[in-house]
Amino acid sequence: MSRRIGAVVALCLLLGACGPAAAAKYDSFWAAITANPKLKSMQGFLDAAPDIKSALQNPKLAGSTVFAPTDDAFAAMQKLVPNAAELYKNSVIVKMAISIHLVPGMYPSDKLSNGMKLQSRLAGASGELTILKSGGSVKVQSAGSTASVVEADIGAGEGGVLHVIDSMLLPVKISSGTPVAVPAAVGGR
């Protein structure tokens, strides 16, 4: 009996099937996003910001972290903000919304600690993110929302990491059912 267990353990270690699965690695952030069936809305969102999309397609984009919201996160935003579809057509708003999900520096989950502050590519205090880590759970908190990491440590490009999150990060708190006004400075009326 103990020989069988020893053989199973040896085979398991040889095949790597008993330990944690190795995180996937993609040539670019864009490749990681398009390979994930939960990130179709993120793909469409990036189409409205071609310069950011182009940067994420670059395999040499190094030392960055992307927190990518799932399709369900985009659907929840549509319910929260009645005019979300209109906002998604405004390239300035889209760039701002994407920027809070992009962080300079590579932060795999084992480098994230509870209370850690990260400055996203959205400038100022509204772009500050706080990591909430407890046990195996990792959450990312912005000024307006908190998202749980549902898939971590997806390698992208040369030294990048993507974490899939279950909610969109918001730079401000938004009340449910309240249309968001687009300031005139960013293309509003």
Q: What is the pLDDT of residue 43?
A: 92
What CATH number is associated with residue 88?
A: 2.30.180.10
Within a domain: 1:
no
Q: What is the pLDDT of residue 17?
A: 37
To the nearest 10°, report the CA torsion of 140, 141, 145, 151.
0
Within a domain: 88:
yes
CA atoms of 170 and 174, how far apart (whole Å): 8
Q: What is the pLDDT of residue 3?
A: 47
Within a domain: 93:
yes
Within a domain: 41:
yes
Within a domain: 17:
no
Helix (H, G, I), strand (E, B) or coil at 131: strand
Q: Is the pTM of this model over 0.85?
A: no
Within a domain: 183:
no
* Total number of domains constituting the chain: 1
Within a domain: 129:
no
The DSSP bridge partners found for residue 131 are 140
Nearest C-alpha neighbor of 137 from the set 168, 166, 170: 166
Q: What is the pLDDT of residue 92?
A: 80
Q: What is the pLDDT of residue 176?
A: 65
- Residue range 133-176, pLDDT digits in tens: 998 899 999 998 999 999 999 999 988 999 999 999 988 877 66
Within a domain: 38:
yes
The residue range of the domain holding 53 is 24-110+148-170
Residues of the chain short of pLDDT 70, as ranges, are 1-23, 175-189
Taking only Cα atoms into account, the Rg of the chain, rounded to an integer number of angstroms, comes to 19
Residue bearing tokens 């390979």: 35
